C-alpha cells in the first residue's frame, strides 16, 4: 500500500510546525539557563574566611559550596588533604569581640 502524497505546501507547513514545536522549548532552555560560575581558588576562599566574609560552608563530595555575607554563593575545590583531615578550621569569634571568623590552617601529617 503506497502512502498518500501530500501537497508541497502542506509538507512545508508540517515541517515548520515540527521545527517550531521542538525548537522553541530548546531555545527557551538554552537562553534561560543561569551561567555556570567557575570555582574560585582555595587560597581565595581562605582569604574570604580570614576577612570574615564567609557566612556558611557546605561540604559536598569533591568541593565546597560557600555562602558569603553579601548573599552570593561560590564554589571551590579543596585539596584532598583538607577533605581527609579535620575540616573544622572555622570558628566564630566569641560574642562581644570585634572581628568575625578566624582561620586556623591545619597542616596535614603523613
Predicted confidence (pLDDT) per residue in 28-39, tens digit: 888 887 777 788
Residue 93 maps to a domain: yes
Residue 6: alpha-carbon gap to chain centroid? 50
Residue 81 maps to a domain: yes
Q: Quote the number of domains for the chain.
A: 1
Q: Which three cell numbers stand for residue 100?
A: 568575625
What is the number of helices (H) and of strands (E) in the chain? 3, 5
Residue 82 maps to a domain: yes
Residue 49 maps to a domain: yes
Domain that holds residue 90: 42-103
CATH value at residue 97: 3.30.720
Residue 53 maps to a domain: yes
Q: What are the residues facing 76 on neighbouring strands?
A: 40, 64
Low-confidence spans in the chain with pLDDT less than 50: 90-110
Predicted confidence (pLDDT) per residue in 96-107, tens digit: 444 434 444 444
Amino acid at each position: 500500500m503506497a502512502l498518500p502524497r501530500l501537497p508541497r505546501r502542506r509538507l512545508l507547513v508540517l515541517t515548520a510546525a515540527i521545527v517550531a514545536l521542538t525548537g522553541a522549548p530548546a531555545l527557551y532552555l538554552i537562553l534561560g539557563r543561569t551561567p555556570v560560575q567557575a570555582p574560585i581558588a582555595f587560597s581565595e576562599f581562605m582569604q574570604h574566611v580570614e576577612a570574615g566574609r564567609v557566612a556558611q560552608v557546605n561540604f559536598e563530595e569533591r568541593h565546597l559550596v560557600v555562602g558569603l555575607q553579601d548573599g552570593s554563593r561560590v564554589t571551590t575545590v579543596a585539596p584532598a588533604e583538607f577533605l581527609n583531615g579535620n575540616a573544622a578550621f572555622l570558628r566564630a569569634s566569641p560574642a562581644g569581640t570585634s572581628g568575625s571568623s578566624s582561620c586556623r590552617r591545619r597542616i596535614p601529617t603523613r
